[in-house]
Amino acid sequence: MLTINNLSKTYPNGVQALKNISLNIPNGLFGLLGPNGAGKSSLMRTIATLQDADSGTITLDNINVSTNKDAMRQVLGYLPQEFGVYPTVSAEELLDHIAILKGVTNNAQRKEVVTTLLKQTNLFDHRKKSLGGFSGGMKQRFGIAQALLGNPKIIIVDEPTAGLDPTERNRFLNLLSEISETVVVILSTHIVEDVRELCPNMAIINKGEVMFTGTPQAALAKLHGKVWKAILPKHEAKQISEEYKVISTKFNTGNIEVHILSNHAPNNTAFEAVEPELEDVYFAVINKLIVD
């Protein structure tokens, strides 16, 4: 269990990135949802001991992360949003090098570990290929391979599927799901579908604050029977926000698809009741139409 209690962080430029964040994160996949700039990366960097909080505590089982960074680093796997590789080095060579840095010094043991991880991430057939020639998805899978070195108790992945094509995204998310059976995996993302499909527990964060925490099912239950949808011409859609609580709008075949939040059937007969999706919850929470 990872426990975060009243964590706050303000940068020298005056931006308060984290505001009294408190979360309990058990084993398994935990989705951390929020828009860009919400504070997700600041929270991940603090958990990963890359920066100190101004106040609050983080504990992983019996490890106080703030006072015992080395102990945390020994059980941590981290895949940041952007990570570099040596482009002329092969996947096998670099993974072997990182394994040495993580303390796997026995040659035979290290070779077995590297081979196992390359197979687990479906990179074994590409092990001799220079990392500079890897696709985006292959680099992300290599990133997970290096994060798994040392049998970590907690793995942090920050915006891991951004920019991946659908095939690579599915492959990567399936890999995360397999990994999460025995460890804490924090999936930080702004992509709602990633959380909806994989995470038994989640939180929504915006402007440095936790705005919702619970299961996706509990989040959807909050909006059951309250979401209404209509596809309207642009000029009609603009007027809707004056009459209703608008959850979201998006283009749909030349018109505007509008989702609103209402306890009762709208007077506008163009609206029909729909089952809420996690995206409805996300926008409703971000826009403060509902509170946790």
Give the model confidence (pLDDT) of 119-157 as tens digits: 988 899 999 999 999 988 888 889 989 998 988 999 999
Q: Percent of the chain beyond pLDDT 90?
A: 63
145-194 pLDDT tens trace: 999 898 899 999 988 887 778 888 888 888 888 888 889 999 988 888 88
How far apart CA 213 and CA 197 sit, in angstroms, is 17
Q: Which residues contact 120 (CB under 8 A, 6 or more apart)?
A: 145, 148, 175
The predicted structure's pLDDT at residue 291? 64
The predicted structure's pLDDT at residue 92? 96
224-273 pLDDT tens trace: 999 999 999 988 888 888 889 999 999 988 899 999 999 999 988 889 99
The predicted structure's pLDDT at residue 190? 85
| Sequence letter at residue 272 | E
How far apart CA 172 and CA 176 sit, in angstroms, is 6
The pTM of the full predicted model, rounded to 2 decimals, is 0.87
How far apart CA 282 and CA 35 sit, in angstroms, is 10
Interior/surface letters 135-145, b for 16+ CB within 10 angstroms, e for the rest: eebbbbbbbbb
- Is CATH 3.40.50.300 the classification given to domain 2-215? yes
> Hey, CA dihedral for 235, 236, 238, 242, is it positive or negative?
positive
Q: How many other CB atoms sit within 10 Å of the CB of residue 29?
A: 26
Q: Which residue has the tokens 């998310």?
A: 173
Helix H, strand E, coil C: the string for 236-267 is HHHHHHHHCEEEEEEEECCEEEEEEECCCCCC
